[in-house]
Amino acid sequence: MTSIALRAPQRLRGVIQVPGDKSISHRAVIFNAVAAGSAQVSNFLAGADCLATIACVRALGVDVQRAGTEVRITGAGLHGLCEPADVLDCGNSGTTLRLLAGLLAGRPLFAVLSGDASLRSRPQRRIVAPLRALGAWLDGRDDGDRAPLAVRGATLSGGRYALPVASAQVKSALLLAGLAGSGPLTLTGKIASRDHSERMLQAMGVDLRLSPEQISLHPPTDPQLPAPLTLRVPGDPSSASFWWVAAAIHPDAELTTAGVCLNPTRTGALEVLRAMGAAITISNERVEGSEPVGDVTVRSSQLRGASIGGELIPRLIDEIPVLAVAAACAEGDTVIRDAQELRAKETDRIATVAGGLAALGVAVEPTADGMAIAGRGPRLVGAELASHGDHRLAMAWAVAALVARGETRVHDPDAVTVSYPGFWETLAGLRA
Ligand code: S3P
């Protein structure tokens, strides 16, 4: 499909099962790939990014059987991966490339990691530099900053590393490298980012100690570790956030997203929407595996502008495109700052989000680390909007179309398959 035409519906009602969390799905496959035995993962996200992870892990000699959202992984153990016969194609997925670079850096094999044009344009020095400091050999274009990345694994030392960016991908790459290290690894600095890797490693019996200042990992010596981890992947809060904003900005809406991961490192968008005045109810809160989960209901709301920055940013970084749509529909101004990481995502999301909002008739000023958005209330103007091949932009523009006057056309809508394969079908169901 080259484009999709959308108009604002009269009402929006529904209970939505969003697909499994992308970050947890990647990790469930990668960590179980080096576990000592078989694990069953249900509600796996069968989106393009996580399927790329499965393909790469299979190319490393791991048996992965998938039927829809059910996945069985027979781990090769910490030292059982095979040298891949070809380039590992990570597609559009930064998580696949960075976590696998960490995993492979400490294994005695040679591998090349690459992906699509977007992934090959994204910065990799953030993993290459610390992995080199641990004794790994990695190289790539631009002195190791761009994929294709070549990895010749080595026995890594442990040690200390202070994370200069709050990035769960960097943190997880180092923890994966540290699993096969010759001594303990301690991470300090900007360790506050999504913590699914830490939760999963602890649940797999790995000696991982956490404090607000540092993470220490002791490489397992018991061949039964890491123990395989069977789990159900909770719903993805980043996918659910599109429906939260849709319900909040639409004048006649009530939407429930059921079984969503409510890990506090992922719920910054809920906090911001609440501060903007969104009517949000959380029910059925429970713990599934290592993660808190609940149902989130959002109703039509009068939103006001907000200030978004500081420690909140890593907790809502992927939700900024759709929060920008919420800000555009609010009364008053919203300022987003400290979000320079947006420039290193699937697209430069400061530029691409600002460009789309401007087309919708919104006064928006991009800055080096965010943007200022002048809220228009519910008065967006239908427009032609490019997804630029970025899944989260395609979905953010679909949400804008739910309140825009006239027709909105989203180009390259298939980009959603990266993280939310059934997005357009679910949207059609809510409008019916
Ligand atoms: C992810 C971490 C985040 C996020 C990405 C998924 C992960 O990136 O934007 O979509 O699964 O670890 P950074 O860690 O680079 O901030």
Q: What is the pLDDT of residues 221-267, one digit of tens each?
A: 999 999 999 999 999 999 999 999 999 999 999 999 999 999 999 99
Task: State in words which class domain 3-19+234-431 has.
Answer: alpha beta
For residue 168 and ligand 1, the question of a CB distance below 6 A is answered with yes
**Which tokens sit at 10?**
């009269």
Beta bridge partners, 288, equal: 291
pLDDT interval class at 379 (50, 70, 90): confident
Give DSSP secondary structure letters for 89-113. E-TT-HHHHHHHHHHHHTSSSEEEE
* 243 Cα–ligand 1 center, Å: 21
Which ligand 1 atom minimizes the distance to the CA of 314?
16
Mean pLDDT (the chain) is 97
Let me know: does 116 contact 93? Beta carbons within 8 Å: no
* 5 Cα–ligand 1 center, Å: 30
Residue 417 has pLDDT above 80, yes or no: yes
Separation of alpha carbons 432 and 61, rounded Å:
46
Residue-level pLDDT at 1:
77
For residue 167 and ligand 1, the question of a CB distance below 6 A is answered with yes
- Residue intervals in the chain for CATH 3.65.10.10: 3-19+234-431, 22-217
- Among 176, 317, 347, which residue has the most ligand 1 atoms within 8 Å of its CB, making it the best to mutate? 317
Residues 37-61, mean pLDDT to the nearest whole number: 98
* 349 Cα–ligand 1 center, Å: 14
Residue-level pLDDT at 339:
98
* 101 Cα–ligand 1 center, Å: 15
Nearest Cα neighbor of 136 from 151, 148, 114 is 151
Q: Is the dihedral of CA 73, 416, 289, 256 positive or negative?
A: negative
* 239 Cα–ligand 1 center, Å: 14
pLDDT digits (tens, 9 = 90+) for 388-399: 999 999 999 999
For residue 290 and ligand 1, the question of a CB distance below 6 A is answered with no
pLDDT digits (tens, 9 = 90+) for 290-333: 999 999 999 999 999 999 999 999 999 999 999 999 999 999 99
Contacts of 425 (CB under 8 A, 6+ apart): none
Does an H or E element contain 4, and which? Answer: strand 3-6
Residue-level pLDDT at 431:
79
For residue 8 and ligand 1, the question of a CB distance below 6 A is answered with no
Task: State in words which class domain 22-217 has.
Answer: alpha beta
Nearest Cα neighbor of 118 from 352, 360, 374 is 352
* 123 Cα–ligand 1 center, Å: 13
Separation of alpha carbons 103 and 173, rounded Å:
7
Residues assigned a catalytic role: 318
Which ligand 1 atom minimizes the distance to the CA of 171?
14
Separation of alpha carbons 92 and 118, rounded Å:
7
- Among 92, 99, 169, which residue has the most ligand 1 atoms within 8 Å of its CB, making it the best to mutate? 169
pLDDT digits (tens, 9 = 90+) for 180-197: 999 999 999 999 999 999
For residue 96 and ligand 1, the question of a CB distance below 6 A is answered with no
For residue 23 and ligand 1, the question of a CB distance below 6 A is answered with yes
For residue 194 and ligand 1, the question of a CB distance below 6 A is answered with yes
For residue 95 and ligand 1, the question of a CB distance below 6 A is answered with yes
Let me know: does 112 contact 150? Beta carbons within 8 Å: yes
pLDDT digits (tens, 9 = 90+) for 340-375: 999 999 999 999 999 999 999 999 999 999 999 999
DSSP E strand stretches across 221-350: 231-232, 253-261, 279-288, 291-299, 307-308, 333-336
- Among 22, 25, 176, 194, which residue has the most ligand 1 atoms within 8 Å of its CB, making it the best to mutate? 194
